[in-house]
Chains A and B, each alone.
Chain A
Amino acid sequence: MDPSQTSRAEDRIESSDDAELAELAHRIDHAAHLLPAQGPIAVFVHHNTLHAYEELTFHEAVERGARRFGCQPYLSEDRFREELRTGRIRFSELQSVLREDLGEQADRPVPCFGTRFGLRLVMLQYAHRSGPTDVLQWHMAESDSLRRVRPEASAAMRAQLVAETRRWVMRDLRLWGNGSDWTGASNGLLEGLGARRGGVRIEEWGPEDWEAFSLQALWRVCCDGVGRSGKLLPVSPPRTRHRDLLLEATGEDADRLVNEVLIPFCAAFLDQGLAHWRLPRREAGFFRSFCALYRRAFGPPRAWARGLARELGELEDGRVTALRSIERSLEELGVASEEQGEYIASALLALRGWCGMIWQLEVRGDRAVNPAPPGSLRGFLAVRLILDRYAARHVARAGGIPDSVSLRELRAELVGRRDRPGLGVESRALAIFELAQVAGISADRLYPLSDSAWGELLGEVEGFGELERRRVFQLAYERRLYTQVLDALELHNRGVRRRVSRPRFQAIFCIDEREESIRRHLEEVAPDAETFGTAGYFSVAMYYKGVDDAHFVPLCPVVVVPRHWVTEEVIEGSGDGESRRKRARRAVGMARHGFHSGSRSLMAGAILSAGVGALASVPLIARTLFPRATARFRDRMARFVRPPQRTRLQIERTASEPGSGPGGRGFDIGEMTELGAKVLREIGLTDGFARLVLVIGHGSRSANNPHKSAYECGACGGSSGGPNARALAQILNEERVRERLAARGIRIPATTWFVGGMHNTTDDSMRFYDVDLIPEGLRREFAAVREIMERASEANAHERCRRFESAPLTLTPEGARQHVEARAEDLAQVRPEWGHATNAIAIVGRRGLTRGLYLDRRAFLVSYEPSEDDEELGTLAAILGAVVPVCAGINLEYYFSRVDNVGWGSGTKLPHNVTSLIGVMDGSASDLRTGLPWQMVEFHEPVRLLLVVEADAGRLARLLDRGGDVGRLCRNGWVQLAAIDPRTREIRVYEEGEFRPDRAMASVLPTASSSRDWYRGWRENLEFAEIGRRGSAAESGEGALT
C-alpha cells in the first residue's frame, strides 16, 4: 500500500475515534481557504486575490483581508491626494461621493466644523499628521509648525485664523500700564505666550508675531481641550503567535530561523523537476519525509534546533500522524481550543506562498507533474509547529526569559511585559490643530467648547480614520472613470447605429481589452469590415497537442474541464521522413538537455566550459546587444534546418466516445454544430455573412520571462488561443456542420470561408492557419485582407508604443513594429508588453455601441445580440457566466497587485528566481511570490471593473437574482454594473440591488479624425473620444455605419 494512503487511513481511523481531531482537521481545512490560490506559474490563471472573501461586500472584504494579510486595501492617501491635485479625482465628484456615502448623516452638526460632511471633506482634502507622542513632541519643537500656518491652508483661512485670534486676545487681555496681565486671559491658558515675543509691546507685534501667537494659542487650546475630554486607548493589533510577541519584545524574528529550514525543504518537496536529485521518500508525504530526513544524526550545526532529531525520530518510530503531532504541538504551545482556528491560520499564513502552493498541488494535483500527496498541508503545519516551538524557546532564552517559563506561559508573560504608550494628549490634539488651520478655525472658537463637545469633536475626527478616507477616495477615483465611460457611451449612441451592411469581411476576436485597439484600427483601415468579440477559446474547450508538443494542454477557461482532445497532425511527407525528423528532433533535444545538465556537472562541466565555454560569448553578446537581429537570424536558421510542414487539426472523431487515444480525438458532427451555433448566436452573427470570416485568437511571446503565461489568453487558461481559432474555423467550414446549422436557422452561404489566425499581442505579428485550403476564388481577396490586417497590426503596435517609455513618441508605424519585435526577443526586457494593465471596463453588447469610440485599450468587448435572445436572457446568462469571472478575475488580480505590490503582488521582477518550476522567489530563500510583479502593474489604475450590458434592466435584474457567481459579484460590489437599453439606449446603474437612472454629466464627446490623431504625443491614460468625424468618409462609403 502506498505510504501516503496509509497515513491518510490512519488519520481517518483517528478522526472517527476522536471528535477533537476531526474538529482540528476541519479547522485546518478552513484556514487553508485563506491561502493564495495560485497554481504553478507556467499556467498562470488570473483570479481574485481575495476569492475567499467574495461572500462579503468589496469594501468589507478588502478591509478584513488587509488586516488578515497585513496588506494595503487601497492606494495610499497621499497618492489619492495627488490624484485630486492633478484632476484625476474631481473635487465635485469627491463631494458627491462623500454625500452619498454619508446619506442622512451628512448634515449632522459637528462643533466648530459645521457638519459632518464639512469636516470629512476637509479631512479628505488635507492630510493631518499622527504618530507616537514623543515623535510629535519632537516635531513640534523642531519644525516651524508653531510659527507658520500650514502651507496647504488658503490665504483666506490663514488671515481669518490670525485676525480672529488677535481680536480675541486684545479683547480678553487686560492691558494695564506697561505690562500685560496674561494670567487673566482665558483662565491662564495663554500664560507666558506673550513673553516669547521678546519683550516687544503687544501693539507693536508684526504679522509674523501674530501668526506664531495664533498657532501657539491654538495648540494650547487643543491640548487643553483634548486633555479634558477623556482618554482613548489605542487598539494594538492582536498578536496571536509566539513569534509575533517575541519579535515585539526582543526584536528577534523566530520565523527567520524556521524559514531557513522550511523554505529549502518546501522547495525540494514541491520540486517539479528542477533538481537533478529529488527528495528521498517524497511519496510518503511532507511530514514523513521531513522526519525521515531530519531525524538522522550528524545534522547541520544549529543551536536552536538541538533535540529536534530525537523528537522527529520518536514521532516516526511511534507512527504519530501529522494531525496528532499538530495537536500535541498546539497543546505544548498553550493554544486553547477556541483560538485554534486563528492560531492555525496565522501559522499557515506566515509562509503563505509556499503553503498555498502545497495546498494547490494537493487539491488540484491534475495541474502538476508531481502533485503533492494528500495530507501534505497537515504535514506542513505539523512541521511548522514543531520548528516554531524550538525557535520560540531559543529566541525567548536569548531574550533573557528564563527556561522556567514554559511555552504555554510564554505568551501571557510577554503580553504582561508589553509597554505600549497610550495615545497621548498631544498626538490627538495635533489632528485638531492641523485641521483647524486649514478650516480657518481659531483658538477662540475652540476655547469655549465644553468637555462633552470636545469629546464629540474628537469622536468625529477619529471616527473618520485613514481606512475610511481611503475608501471614499477610491469611490471618487472610480467615479471619474465610470462617469467618463457612461457619458461616452451615452453621447456616442445618440444617433441610430446598426450593423455594417454588406461587410467586405468579418473578424472574430477575443474579448481581451488588448484586442480593442486592433479591432478599432482594423475598422479604421477598412471601414467596410465588421468585427466581433467572444471569449478567446471560441467555445472550443479542448485538450490540445501541437505537432511539436510533448503533452496535451487544456485550452479553455479554468472553470471548464474539457471533454475533448485535439491534435495537430502532419499531412505531408512520407511516414519515414516524419519519423526521421522526430528522431532528429529528439536527438537535438537530448543534446540540449545533455549540455544543460552537463555544464552543471563536475567533469563534463569542466570539459565543456574549458573547451567550448568561450564560444558562449557569441550568443551572449549577440543576444544582449542585438536582440532583434539575432532572433531573425535564428528564425531563418531554424527554417533552413527544418522547413515548415503542412499540418491539420485532427478535429473529427471516429470513435463514439471522446478520449486521448487516436480514435477518440476530436468532436463529432453534432458536437461541432452545437458549439458552432453557440458562438454564432452569442455574437449575433447568424446572417449577413461576408465572404471571408477571420477567427483570431491571441497569445504572447516573450523571452526570459517566467510570468509569460500571465500575458497569454485568459480565456484559454493562460495559453495561446491560436489552436482554438483554427479549430473553430475548421469546424465552420465543414459542409455537414453547415447543413445542420442551416436546419437551426443559421445559413452560412457556400461562398463564405472561415480562416483561423493568431494575433501575438507582444510583437503584433499575425499568422493564419490552413491558408492552403482557401478556395481558389477567394485567394486574391484573402491576400488583400491579409494586407489590411498587417496595416492594422502595425497601427496597433504604434498605439501600444505610446505607453513604452523606451519607445520615442516620434516612431513611425514601421518603427513601432520593429520596436515591439525587439521587445519580444530581448532577454533584458522585463516589460515585453503591458498585459492587462489597462483593463477597467467590460462592455457586453453589439459592436455598434462602441464602434468608432476610442476606448484606449481599456475595455473587454463582448459581442452579444440582444434581439436574438429570449425573454429570460438565456444567451446572455451563458455569456456573462463565462465572461464575468474571467474579466473580474483579471481586474481584481491587477487591483490587488497594484494596490499593494509587495504584499499582494510578487514585488519587482528583478531579483526573481524561478524555483521548483512552480513559481518565483526573491533571491535564494524567500517565500514563494504569488500575484503579479511590479513591472506588469506599475501603471495600472486600480479600479473595479465596470460591466456595461446591453439589455433591458428589469430582465437583467431578474437574471442576477437567479443566483450564481455573476449576481454575487455584482451585488457585493466586486464588479460595478450598468445596463444600456437595447432600444431606448437609456443607461441605468446597478446600485444596492436595483437599477437606477444614470445622470449624464458631459455634453460633448471629443472627436478626432483617427485613433492616431487622438493618442499621439501622450503616454498617460486618455479620455474617450469619437474617432472619424461624422459626415466624413465613413458615412458616405459603401456599407459603412449609418
Chain B
Amino acid sequence: MTWYERVLTGSGLLVVGAPALVAAVMGLVLLLGYRLTERRITRLLEGATITGLAAAILILIGMLATGSRRVAITLGNWVVVPGEYHFAIKFVFDRLSVPFVILSFVLIGTIGAFASRYLHREEEFARFFMLYAIFLLGMVVASLAGTIETLFTGWELVGLSSALLVAYYQERPAPSRSGLWVWSVYRVSDAALLFAAVVLHHLMGEGDLSRLLGSGTWPYQHAEVASGQALLVGLLLIVAAAGKSALVPFSGWLPRAMEGPTPSSAIFYGALSVHLGAFLLLRLDPLIDRSIWLAGLLVVIGLATAVLAYLSSLVQTDIKSALCYASLTQVGIIVVEIGLGLRYVALVHMIGHATLRTLQFLRAPSILHEYHLVENALGEHRPVGKAPSWARLAGASVLGWLYRLALERSYLDGFLREVVVEPFRRGMLFCDRFERRWTDRLSGGESRESDHLRDPFGVIDELS
C-alpha cells in the first residue's frame, strides 16, 4: 500500500468514523442519564461534521490528483459461509458517492448550526440532536455503501431517525400520528430493499454491489446479470426508492413530515431524505440499463410524480406544503432523468436542487416579508392566482375537478388508506375473529383474558 493509499483509506475511515463516534458518544452519555449542555452537543456535532467533511474533501482531492476513480474500504467479512453466504462491510468512494457525501456533510452541518440556535432553550434539545446525529450517520453510511447490507444499515438509520424527528413533539397526537404514517411507508420501502438483498444474495452469493453492477467505475459500469433477474431486483429497488423519495403512490407522507421543527422539515423534503431514493436508483443505474422495462417504469413513475406534485403545489396555501410539493416535482424529474440514463444531469440536478430548496425551507417563515418586498418593488398587489393556462382550456367543470384533485393531494393518501390499508386491516380483523371463535369454542367460554384488562398506566398521569 503506498502512502497516499494509506492517507485515502485513513480519510475514508474518518468520514464514516467521525459521525459514528459522535452518535455513539452522545447515545451512551444520554443513555447513562447524564445531561449534555446545548453547547457541548453543538460542539460534538460540529466536530463530527467538520472532520467528516474535511476527510471527504481530502479524498476528493486525492482522487482527482491520482486520477483514481474508485477507493474501496473493506472492514472485513463478518460472516462467511463459503459458496453460500458472505456478509461484508464495505465503503466505496467514487464519482457518485463522494459528491453526495460532501453534500450531506455541508447541508447537515449548515442545518445543524441553524438548528442549534433555533432550538435554543428547547427542553428536548438533546433528543433532537441525538436523532440528528443518527440521521447524519445513516446518510453517510447509505451514500458510501459498497454492499447491500451496508446500504440497508444506513437506510434503516435514516428511516428510523426521520420518523422519530417527525414525531418530535410526542406530546401532541398529530405529530405522533404523522410519524407513524411516515414510519409505515418507510417500512414498506425497507421491506422491499431487504427482499432485494435476499434475492441478490441468492443470485450472487454475496451482497457486494460491485459484483451486481459489474466491473468498472460509476457511471461506466456494466451489470452482468440477466435481464430477467435485473427486472426482479430492479422492481424491488424501485419500490424501495419510491417509498423513500415519496414517489407515486407514496407521496402522501411528505406533507405530514413537517410536524417537526423547521430545520427537520428542511432536512426531509428540502435536502436529503427525499433524494435518498433517487440516489439509490443512481447507484443501481447499471442494473436499470439492463432492462428497458425498468427504465420505462422509472420514467412513468417519475413523470406521474412530477405532474401530480406540480398540480398540488399550485393550490397549496401554506408555505411549507407549497415548497414540499415543489420539491417533489423536482424529485420526479430527477427520477425521469435517471430513467432516461442521464446520470450526470441527475446528479447535478440533485445537488443543485437540494441546496436551493434547503435555503428556501430555512427561510420559509420569511414568506410574508418576502411578498411584502416584492409588492413594494412592483408597486402594486401581486397578480391574483389563476388556474394554469393549459388547464383553463378544459372548461370550468374539469377545472373544478382538477382543483379538488390537487387540493386533496391527488387522493394518494385516501387511495392507500381505502384500497390497501383498510382491506388489510379488515383481513386481519377477520382472522382475529376467526381465531377467537375457535379458541372460545375449544375453551368452552371466553378465552381471552386480555379483553378484560384495563390499561394500567393510562391514568397514572392524572395523579401526579
Contacts and interface: CB of A to CB of B under 8 A. Distances in A.
Nearest to B122: A910
Interface in A798-832: 805-806, 826-831
B385 A612 contact: no
A907 to B, nearest CB: 9
A586 B378 contact: yes
Given A609-B352, A910-B119, A616 B368 contact: no
Nearest to B115: A828
A993 interface: no
A265 B407 contact: yes
Nearest to A134: B459
A273 B385 contact: yes
B418 to A, nearest CB: 4
Contact of A625 (B110, B321, B369, B375): B110
A617 B320 CA distance: 20
Interface string A385-423: 000000000000000000000000000000000000000
B400 A293 contact: yes
A915 B319 contact: yes
Contacts of A910: 118-119, 122, 260-262
A592 B408 CA distance: 29
Interface in A608-657: 608-614, 616-617, 619-621, 624-625
Given A805-B120, A829-B117, A916 B317 contact: yes
Residue among B110, B316, B388 with the highest chain A CB neighbour number at 10 A: B316
A262 to B, nearest CB: 12
A774 interface: no
Residue among A129, A303, A611, A706 with the highest chain B CB neighbour number at 10 A: A706
A480 B65 CA distance: 73
Given A369-B381, A827-B362, A913 B318 contact: yes
B367 A917 contact: yes
Given A601-B310, A910-B262, A924 B117 contact: no
A160 to B, nearest CB: 28
Given A274-B319, A614-B352, A913-B318, A300 B364 contact: no
Nearest to B114: A828
B329 A924 contact: no
A965 to B, nearest CB: 31
Given A585-B377, A613-B351, A613-B353, A916 B260 contact: no
B358 interface: yes
A828 B382 CA distance: 28
A663 to B, nearest CB: 20
Contact of A917 (B258, B261, B368): B368
Given A275-B315, A827-B362, A910-B261, A924 B403 contact: no
B437 interface: no
B317 A915 contact: yes
Interface in A128-143: 129, 131-132, 134-136, 138-139
A616 B259 contact: no
Interface in B67-126: 106, 110-111, 113-122
B403 to A, nearest CB: 6
B367 A274 contact: yes
A440 B307 CA distance: 75
Contacts of A293: 400, 403-404, 407
B27 to A, nearest CB: 23
A586 B258 contact: no
B322 A277 contact: no
A619 B313 CA distance: 25
B310 to A, nearest CB: 5
A63 to B, nearest CB: 21
B30 interface: no
B282 to A, nearest CB: 14
B193 interface: no
Interface string A965-976: 000000000000
B33 to A, nearest CB: 22
B419 to A, nearest CB: 7
A599 interface: yes
B459 A299 contact: no
Contacts of A274: 316-319, 322, 367
A210 B242 CA distance: 70
Contacts of A281: 400
Contacts of A273: 371, 381-382, 384-385
Contacts, number: 297
B57 interface: no
Contact of B364 (A296, A806, A913): A913
B185 interface: no
B256 interface: yes
A41 interface: yes
A798 B346 CA distance: 51
B381 A926 contact: no
Contacts of B11: none
A264 B317 contact: yes
Nearest to B353: A609
A593 B368 contact: no
Given A369-B381, A551-B375, A912-B365, A264 B407 contact: yes
B318 A267 contact: yes
A548 B378 CA distance: 10
A586 B377 contact: yes
B397 interface: yes
A921 interface: yes
A280 interface: yes
Interface string A585-606: 1101110110010011110011
B175 interface: yes
Nearest to B39: A806
A911 interface: yes
B259 A609 contact: no
A917 B459 contact: no
A258 B269 CA distance: 27
Interface in A829-888: 829-831
Contacts of B345: 610
Residue among A586, A619, A704, A829 with the highest chain B CB neighbour number at 10 A: A704
A926 B178 CA distance: 12
B191 interface: no
A279 B317 CA distance: 10
A743 interface: no
Contact of A704 (B119, B330, B366, B401): B366
A613 B371 contact: no
Given A550-B379, A600-B313, A614-B355, A131 B463 contact: yes
A176 interface: no
Contacts of B406: 277
Nearest to A273: B382
Nearest to A917: B368
Interface in B308-335: 310, 313-323, 326, 329-330, 333
Contact of A550 (B106, B262, B354, B375): B375
A281 B387 CA distance: 12
Contact of B368 (A42, A301, A302, A589): A42
A276 interface: yes
Given A276-B314, A609-B357, A610-B348, A135 B459 contact: yes
21 contacts: A129-B463, A293-B404, A300-B414, A549-B376, A550-B381, A586-B377, A589-B376, A590-B377, A600-B326, A602-B306, A602-B307, A602-B333, A605-B330, A704-B365, A705-B365, A706-B365, A706-B368, A828-B117, A830-B120, A913-B318, A924-B256
Interface of A: 41-42, 129, 131-132, 134-136, 138-139, 264-265, 267-268, 270-271, 273-281, 292-294, 296, 298-303, 369, 548-551, 582, 585-586, 588-590, 592-593, 596, 599-602, 605-606, 608-614, 616-617, 619-621, 624-625, 703-706, 708, 805-806, 826-831, 908, 910-917, 921-926, 938
Given A135-B462, A280-B396, 13 more contacts: A131-B463, A276-B385, A278-B386, A280-B400, A293-B407, A589-B378, A592-B377, A593-B374, A614-B352, A624-B362, A703-B369, A917-B371, A924-B318
The 7 A-B pairs of least Cβ separation, nearest first, read: A589-B377, A613-B352, A910-B261, A915-B318, A600-B326, A613-B356, A609-B353
